Amino acid sequence: MRITDRFIQQSKPILFIEFLVLVLLIAVADYLTGYAISVGVFYSVPVILAVWFCGKWPGLVMAVLTIAIRHGVDLADNHPYPHPWVHAWNDGIRFANLLLILYGAVAAKFQIETGRNQIKSLQGILPICTSCKRIRGKDGYWTEIDAYMRAHSLGEPTPKLCPECSMRHFVENKGDLPGMAAV
């Protein structure tokens, strides 16, 4: 079983708590390594996981809690700052960084879900009439192939003749080009 399958099977509140525990574990590692060794990038992992498996708003709450916990680590670490505003500035920059990561995770999740939905709509057997080439939709109604393609695909059908049909049309119409009237 993949770890993502385990996450999917759990409730969102339990996952949120697990991701918060992960933030706390990262904070302990951050405290133990001191301010000389940066582990800041690891704080983004629980935010991404919260967005992915819990949603955008839980991800935002996770980002706020992460900054608060990281602020506490800085205070406990007695990190010397030249001015008190530098600590606040750093927290603001860290929060902005997590917001950018959160936005990227939301956008990536949206793109993947959109792609999955498109794939699902294009998969499967398409009942197509061998005579008129209309397609039967899920609702049971028969639709022109162009209309079906527009409704279920990103592509726009354009009228073209394959080489065989083009040649047949050319021979049947005594050398006239397709779509051209005989002179």
Q: Tell me, what's the pLDDT at 22?
A: 97
CB atoms within 10 A of CB 48: 20
Residue with tokens 């997590």: 98
pLDDT in tens, 28-54: 999 999 888 989 999 999 999 999 999
pLDDT in tens, 116-148: 887 776 666 778 888 888 888 888 889 888 888
Q: Tell me, what's the pLDDT at 50?
A: 96
Q: Give the bridge partners for 136, in sequence order.
A: 142
The pTM of this model reads: 0.67
Identify whether the C-beta of residue 169 lies closer than 8 Å to the C-beta of residue 161: yes
The Cα angle at residue 147 between residues 146 and 149, in degrees rounded to 5:
65
Rounded Cα distance between 120 and 156, Å, is 19
CA trace torsion 44, 50, 53, 56 (10° rounding): -110
Q: Tell me, what's the pLDDT at 53?
A: 95
Burial class (CB in 10 A: 0-12, 13-18, 19+), 61: middle
pLDDT in tens, 37-96: 989 999 999 999 999 999 999 999 999 999 999 999 999 988 888 998 999 999 999 999
| Average pLDDT in the chain | 87
The token pair that represents 10 in the structure block: 């759990």
Q: Tell me, what's the pLDDT at 182?
A: 47
Q: How far is CA 174 from CA 65, 146, 161, 164, in A?
A: 78, 29, 17, 15
